[in-house]
Chain A
């Protein structure tokens, strides 16, 4: 089955800790994205990557970091510098070009204790 997987599904973090969210896709998509969703708000773009070893900041990149060492993988690290990290994090992928549909993973719900 082709698709996007994210892990873990739920994550609890203490203040001051860094955590890494996993995202893997086997759709052979070029582009991968990370979004954050808060209640009552639309999806906001954190980072995106068009190609291996290249990534760009989105609208709310502060306090986050990413890497793209393999085409299939795009992990997101939520650092202690992120002031309000509790949210639903969604990873997506697409063929490059915004006329192409994005497909989403099941998401990771992060809660800071």
Chain B
């Protein structure tokens, strides 16, 4: 089992829709979580950090459920420019490791 798992998608949604992705992690010692956005053939760019129960930034909301060991990313009012791959990352205090999921592809359709 992978340490961080994501549904690869693609999620095809119309403009204006709300879409949610889940990411599960297997290491209960994981303490910090991040969502990155990666466009095709580009580097990952930090979207949000999730340290406690959740975080909100405009149309984006991330939530953390430690009991069930998953984090989610909610995108409201999807824009065409939101089309990208979204990477879930976990890290554990005291280690060097950031564990990356393989990403979830989102396509927002006009």
A residues in contact (CB < 8 Å) with B: 31, 33, 35, 40-43, 45, 48, 50, 56, 88, 90, 97-99, 101-107, 109
CA distance in complex: A104, B100 (Å): 13
Q: With a CB–CB cut-off of 8 A, which chain A residues contact B103? A: 42
Residues of B within 8 A of A (CB): 4, 8, 31-32, 34, 41-46, 49, 51, 87, 89, 91-103
A11 to B98, CA, bound (A): 27
Residue B44 contacts which of A50, A98, A99, A104 (CB distance < 8 angstroms)? A104
CA distance A97 to B102 in the complex (A): 23
20 contacts between A and B (CB under 8 A): A31-B96, A40-B8, A40-B102, A41-B102, A42-B4, A42-B102, A43-B87, A45-B97, A90-B44, A97-B93, A98-B91, A98-B92, A99-B91, A101-B46, A102-B34, A102-B98, A103-B46, A104-B44, A106-B42, A107-B43
**Across the interface, do A56 and B96 meet the contact criterion of CB distance under 8 Å?**
yes
User: 7 closest Cβ contacts across the A-B interface?
Assistant: A98-B91, A104-B43, A42-B100, A43-B100, A99-B32, A42-B102, A107-B43
Chain B residues with CB below 8 A from A102, complex form: 34, 46, 89, 98
Excluding A99-B31, A102-B34, A106-B42, 8 further A-B contacts by CB distance (< 8 Å) are A41-B102, A42-B99, A43-B87, A98-B31, A98-B96, A99-B32, A104-B45, A105-B43
A101 (CB) vs chain B CBs: closest residue: B46
Contact B34 A101 (CB under 8 A): yes
**Which of A98, A102, A104, A105 has the largest count of B CB atoms less than 10 A from its CB?**
A98
Specify which of A33, A43, A105 lies most central, judged by the most chain B CB atoms within 10 Å of its CB. Answer: A43
